[in-house]
Each structure stands twice: as C-alpha cells, then as structure tokens.
Amino acid sequence: MNIIEITNTEKKSEITNKILRALSAWFGIESAILDYVQDVKSMEFWAASENDQVIGFIAINKHFNKSAEIHVMGVIESQHRKGIGKLLVEKAESYLLDISISFLQVKTLSPAHPDKGYANTRLFYQSIGFTPIEEFKKLWNEANPALMMMKYLG
C-alpha cells in the first residue's frame, strides 16, 4: 500500500468523486458529494493506493495557523478495518505537525442519529485519539446532527 500527496486539482476531484460514490451508505446526498468534489481542490490531499488502484483519500482544510480539519475522508468499504484510514490520518498529522498546527478536528454524524456505519466511524476516530467535543443539532440539518471531535497534535 502506498500513500502519496496529490496536488493536481482535477485528480483530487476525480478521486473524491469515485470513492464517495462507492460509499453510498455514508455519502448518499448528491449535493454533498458535489460540494466535496469542488471543496477538495484547494485542500491538502493524500490518496492511498494498492496495485495501482486508489482505495482511499483524506482532504485537510487548514482553518487558522494552529488548527485544521479533516474535511472529508473515505476508504472503499472492502478495505475497511485494514489500517488504511489510520495511515491516511497519520500522514496528514505528520504534515500538520511539520507546519506547527496543534489541533485537528473532524465532524461526523452525531450519536443522536442511530446510523450503525457512523457509530463505527466515531469509534474509529476515538481509537486514533479524537475526543468528542460538541454536538451541533442543526449544522447540517435536523435529520443529520453533527458531532465535532478533536485531537491535540502537540
């Protein structure tokens, strides 16, 4: 498995579109997919590949000089629980530490929503050091309450 930084804006969008459409249980809202496909163009971006096939990616949005966010991340479902997401986050964290960013956040579906896939997503983030910080009942919409999680990088 190989993780490489992607700088080409169209390649970032292409990878994002392909992976998110393969993850319809997590990313089933067409307008959200289209927004992500555009958003990633201006973000730091890494892709994981195996046998010349892209199997995952992470896009980082730098908010301020000390904080950043995992804007969107996806690993194709057949590759879940193989450490790929953890490696993508570690690659992003290494980059962020190199540029003196101390805090990394991620927003995901809140436990107020019964979705089992997102329950696993929250467990994943907790297993790699993220802490639940705040729930936003209307950030996305009332049917999809958001949970902000944060990790101190150092």
pLDDT digits (tens, 9 = 90+) for 21-57: 999 877 888 989 999 999 999 999 999 999 999 999 9
| Other residues' Cβ atoms within 10 Å of the Cβ of residue 150 | 18
Assessment of whether the complete model's pTM goes beyond 0.85 = yes
The pLDDT tens digits for 111-132 are 887 777 678 899 999 999 999 9
Biggest CA pair distance of the chain: 41
Distances (CA, A) of 40 to 1, 57, 98, 139: 22, 11, 21, 20
Q: Which CATH number is 2-152's, of 3.40.50.300, 3.30.465.10, 2.40.110.10, 3.40.630.30?
A: 3.40.630.30
